[in-house]
Structure 1
Amino acid sequence: MSTTTTSQTPESEGPGRPGRLIQNEATTEIPVHLLFRDEQAPVSVPLRPTVVGRRQGTGEQPRFRRPASAKSPSVPKVDPELGERPARVLPGAAGVLVGACGTAGCVATSWWAGVLPSLAAAALRLPAHPGAGLGPVQWAAYAGAGALGLFGFGGLARGRTGRAWVLGMFGRYRGTVRRTGLMWVNPLLLRRRVDVRLRHWRSEEMPAADGNGVALRVVVLVVWRVRDTARAVLGVEDHETYLRECVEAALARVAVEAPGGARSSVEAAESNIAALTRLTAADAAPIGLEVFSVQPVRVEYAPEVAAAMQRRRIAALDAQHRATVLTSVVDSVEDTVTRLTVRGLVELDDYERKALVKDLTVAFCAGRGEPGP
């Protein structure tokens, strides 16, 4: 009788299972390799564990999901293809030459048709010509010469320093002219004049608030200019109105220093100016405006809080004055009593010292115009 020992392979070590398993009463199966994992390096971004469909006994680990990053406020964008570019223009001499040729053509046609006055022919030293009359050919010559003259003289323009023209045809941008002097521009193009000089704008009273949320009325001075004429003219309906609204939006986000506040100083004023300028310049840049400074020139309390803030300010000044006077009186009384006792002029017990201090305090306060304690 032969005994055959058959070694049974655990089910966990079968060819279809990846590793050895541990079984107990609480957990059906836990993969062994999960108990001896190396610790991962800490992640800089905080993770929020989110378990999706965990099954008991499978050893499934919680899945981690990164928190969605906060989206930054979007900056208004204008058509990326819209940008200033130089327009094609000709010197003014070319327009004068073309207009002169058209005028000469009209004179020649009149002489050819025989309708030129004799005085004009004599002045131009033209030979006598009986004329062929005004026929279709003469009218066609008149039309061509007149159109040439109008096209030449009608396109003459004078460019000035600090001014530019935005040209367009049939709703399409054709370029910007920044040249100065006499030039020739296609008369079929629509011209829009733009001031590109350094400009300053003093606003009307705008609503604002200080650090405590008290309503203010602020008048600001804005120094700016048009940097990109195409975006300024075609990007918005009115770039000056857009700039005004940008300034109002900046005032709503920046705490303006209240008049006579405790932080009134050169550093605080410069900080407010820098913040207002930065915000306004960032909002106005997409439409081609360059903002150099936005500085408050007058800050007042709003009418609904002006009376209350004035009383509060007067009370604060009065309290400060009383504290200063009281400190001076106390110092004077202390100095007087100390000198009397140190030099041995008087010998005072506690009751006499208190009485002397009270009398001196009343006397000093009356001498400074303050009521006694």
Structure 2
Amino acid sequence: MQERKAWSINGAIGIGLIVVLLALGVFSIVQSYVVLGVVLVLIAGILISGITIVQPNQSIVVIFLGKYMGTVRREGILITVPFSVRRTISLRVRNFNSNRLKVNDVNGNPIEIAAVVVFKVVDAAKAVFDVDQYEDFVEIQSETAIRAVATTYPYDSFTNEELTLRGNADEVSNQLTTELQDRLQVAGVEVIEARLTHLAYSTEIAQAMLQRQQASAIISAREQIVQGAVGMAQDAISRLEADNVVDLDDERRVAMINNLLVAIVSDQGTQPVINTGSLYQ
């Protein structure tokens, strides 16, 4: 089904024509031209049945005797196909907030996820004839697409080498928008944006995953601290030896490196031991 333009005329012109026909019909009846008068009044009544009002950002799907006659998008008062069934379809931008869905991510972890979908109808004929209750169709297909995308990515990654639901919101939103557009195109719906509004681990594993995230954060911080400490120790020994401040053999170099690393890496402030004797005591 493809949308096409329905027959219609300007409402002001149509109402003026109706008034003229009614006036001529009454005049003809008064002048004893009863048949002509009745015909003119019937024509006026037929035109009256075609009067419709289209508001801004709305369309009227015209159906006559079960056949699709076209769609009226021009706003204002109009006269279209008489004795037709007219269904009003909103073309305004709308939001749909999905329920919180419980699904498994690509790693099998149960998560809770929800999204908001911004959409509008661009083809009223498809919305009316190609699907049954397009609002319900949008709702069901949106939740299906959310589930499909949620099972494609992990909730979180501790290696920073793959896309995740939590860490790559823009990429996930683009994927969800594309998935939804493919599903809703049959209903004449354009998806403007789809974005996650809720994302969390399910309650039964939330505590365990929180501990895992904390452990991962601690390990990552430790790695950075160790890398920095090694660089600082190397730099300190290199400068001391380059300036001929001290002449260290391998054993004392190892001891100094050990002391520097302990001082830098330790969680708490270290207590230095001051040697007041000679260098080799």
Q: Equivalent of 2:212, from 299, 309, 312?
A: 312
How many pairs are equivalent? 263
Compute the TM-score of the two structures, normalised by the length of structure 1.
0.56
Residue 61 of structure 2 aligns with which residue? 166
Residue 258 of structure 1 aligns with which residue? 155
Alpha-carbon separation, structure 1, partners of 2:234 and 2:82:
92
Q: Equivalent of 2:10, from 91, 97, 104?
A: 91
Which has the higher Rg, Structure 1 or Structure 2?
A: 1
Matching of residue 236 in structure 1 with residue 131 in structure 2? yes
Q: CA deviation at 1:312?
A: 1.6
Residue 290 of structure 1 aligns with which residue? 190
Letter matched to residue 236 of structure 1: V
**Match of 2:95, SS?**
strand
Q: Equivalent of 1:201, from 84, 95, 100?
A: 95
Matching of residue 180 in structure 1 with residue 75 in structure 2? yes
Cα root mean square deviation, aligned: 4.0
Letter matched to residue 301 of structure 1: Y
Structure 1's unaligned 5+ residue stretches are 1-81, 113-137
Q: CA deviation at 1:98?
A: 1.9
Summarize deviations over 1:323-346 as a string: whole Å, max 9, x none.
222222233333334444454444
Alpha-carbon separation, structure 1, partners of 2:258 and 2:236:
12
Where in structure 2 are the equivalents of 1:346-361 lying within 5 Å?
346-361=246-261
Contact map agreement 1:200 1:221 (CA 8 A) in 2 = no
Residue 201 of structure 2 aligns with which residue? 301
Residue 189 of structure 1 aligns with which residue? 84
Residue 22 of structure 2 aligns with which residue? 102
Contact map agreement 1:96 1:153 (CA 8 A) in 2 = no
Q: 1:212 to 1:246 in 2, by over 3 A?
A: same
Q: CA deviation at 1:229?
A: 1.6
Matching of residue 249 in structure 1 with residue 137 in structure 2? no
Q: CA deviation at 1:319?
A: 1.2
Where in structure 2 are the equivalents of 1:25-40 lying within 5 Å?
none
Q: Which has the higher contact order (CA 8 A, sep 6+)?
A: 2
**Match of 1:329, SS?**
helix
Residue 263 of structure 2 aligns with which residue? 363
Q: CA deviation at 1:103?
A: 6.7
Summarize deviations over 1:286-308 as a string: whole Å, max 9, x none.
23223344343554333443333
Letter matched to residue 83 of structure 1: Q
Q: CA deviation at 1:154?
A: 4.3
Letter matched to residue 268 of structure 2: G
Q: CA deviation at 1:249?
A: 2.7
Alpha-carbon separation, structure 2, partners of 1:177 and 1:370:
78
Q: CA deviation at 1:235?
A: 1.9
Letter matched to residue 61 of structure 2: V
More helix per residue: 1 or 2? 2
Q: CA deviation at 1:176?
A: 1.7
Contact map agreement 1:99 1:151 (CA 8 A) in 2 = no
Alpha-carbon separation, structure 1, partners of 2:252 and 2:50:
105
Compute the TM-score of the two structures, normalised by the length of structure 2.
0.71
**Match of 2:260, SS?**
helix
**Match of 2:74, SS?**
coil
**Match of 2:236, SS?**
helix
Q: CA deviation at 1:316?
A: 1.0
Q: CA deviation at 1:142?
A: 11
Structure 2's unaligned 5+ residue stretches are 272-281
Q: CA deviation at 1:310?
A: 2.3
